[in-house]
Amino acid sequence: MLAVEEIDRRGMQLYQEQIASKVDVEENQGKVIAIDVESGDFEVADEGLVAGERLRERHPDASMLCLRIGYNAVYSFGGVLTQTKA
C-alpha cells in the first residue's frame, strides 16, 4: 500500500503531465476525476463517489487520488472553492 504522500505526488504528476490536457475542458469544469496512481487510468464523473466506484470496477485495488477539475479542492467545508484558471 502506498503512503498518502506518495499517492498525492504520483496523482498530481500524472494529472499535470498526462491527463489534464485530455480532461480540463469546459464541459468537465467542476466534475471530479479519480486517478489510479499505479495504472494511470482515470474516471470523470459529476460526483467523486461515482468516479471512484467506476474506477474501482476496473481496478479493485486502486490507490486513488481525486481532484475537482478546474478547482483548487474537491470539497469545501464552510469556505469557497476557487477556480484554478480564468
List pLDDT tens digits, range 1-38: 899 999 999 999 999 999 999 999 999 999 999 999 99
Quick one: pLDDT at residue 81? 67
* Three-class DSSP category at 4: helix
What is the model's pTM?
0.88
Quick one: pLDDT at residue 33? 98
Quick one: pLDDT at residue 62? 96
58: left (phi over 0), alpha (psi -120 to 50) or beta: alpha
Quick one: pLDDT at residue 24? 95
CB 55 within 8 A of CB 34: yes
Residue ranges covered by each domain of the chain: 4-68
